[in-house]
Amino acid sequence: MVEDRLSLRVAVLAGGDSDERSVSLKSGMAVAEALAQARHRVLHLDPAIVELSGIDWSQFDVAFVALHGRFGEDGQVQQLLDEAGVPYTGSSALASRLAFSKSAAKERFEQFGVPSPRYSLIHYSDDLQNISRKADEIGYPLVVKPDTQGSSLGVSMVRTPDQLPNALKLCFQYDVFGVVETMIEGTEWTVGLIDLQTLPAIKIETDREFFDWQAKYEDDETRYVFDADVPPDVISHMELVAQNACSALGTSGLARVDLRLDAQNQPWVLEINTVPGFTDHSLLPKAAARQGTDFVTLCDRIVRASYEKPISGGRHSHLLRPHAFGTKRDRFFRDSVSGDQSQ
């Protein structure tokens, strides 16, 4: 039961115009209903319908970010809320931007010793021969994925070179940048965290080739297993790797780390979701329920904790300018601009 405490005025941000709009709306609806049950005053704001920069944010105590994909997970809405002085759920603008770019996150993982599959950054302007060379260096089988996208959109498993062109075509439908990555043959796992405290690890089993959009949202045969036949020390190590991955990016509040466990029981971090799905059927709430925290209590605790944490006030907004991180993706933009100016 949620304690009968002072209610908060909560703006639930959900919807937006990203490719994950439908999932975001479901998360937002579930969160809004749970917070209403917890006796908070809730208003749903959809950035695809309402201009957030024109909102009088003084009428809200805290914002619950349930925006998946662009604008919600890439640091943009977080920066807007920082500048408005509104506490919000989840990670800072800086950490969100890092996590949203797979290549930027991987650079940080490498710096902090977090195991992640070997990769190469690609761009839609690269010719096929150049990308094929990078793929050969990575080695088949491999994975092609957009650099910034969620819910496995645009992802392809590529087992032979002849499959590469179609995989690239799909990838570049979602982003001008992509990642060619070593395929980790093994089992799929996810570890949810709340302020770096891990929730029970979940093994994901699907009859599809991997945990794609259909397996996530449409296939009733997808299985989520807590009591997998894996030694406890392997689970503990996987949870530690997930914590280290989040620490490397500086995430806070909610996060979900997706991993693969290879045949030697070595975990490999695929990505971090800073705005994970938040229906009562989503993975992080499932893990919280496994620990005995129901969905209403979980949502209530999250907004209260976010309300009480310090507001960054946009102090780090200058870090969000292009090339501020010095990542491979940012250096590509910088070099392109320099090249244009020199002509």
Residue positions annotated with a catalytic role: 20, 151, 217, 256, 258, 271, 273, 277
The helix/strand/coil state of 195 is coil
Eight-state DSSP code of residue 140: S
Report helix angle 295-308 to 21-37, nearest 10: 90
Report helix angle 93-100 to 102-111, nearest 10: 100
Q: What are phi and psi of 119, to 5 degrees?
A: -150, 170
Q: Are 269 and 247 in contact (CB under 8 A)?
A: no
Q: Are 195 and 305 in contact (CB under 8 A)?
A: yes
Nearest-angstrom CA–CA distance, 189 and 205: 9
Task: Tell me the longest C-alpha to C-alpha distance in the chain.
Answer: 66
What is the DSSP code string of 100-136?
HSHHHHHHHHHHTT-----EEEEETTS-HHHHHHHHH
Q: What are phi and psi of 328, to 5 degrees?
A: -60, -40
Distances (CA, A) of 135 to 84, 94, 97, 164, 171: 44, 30, 26, 9, 14
Q: Are 333 and 176 in contact (CB under 8 A)?
A: no
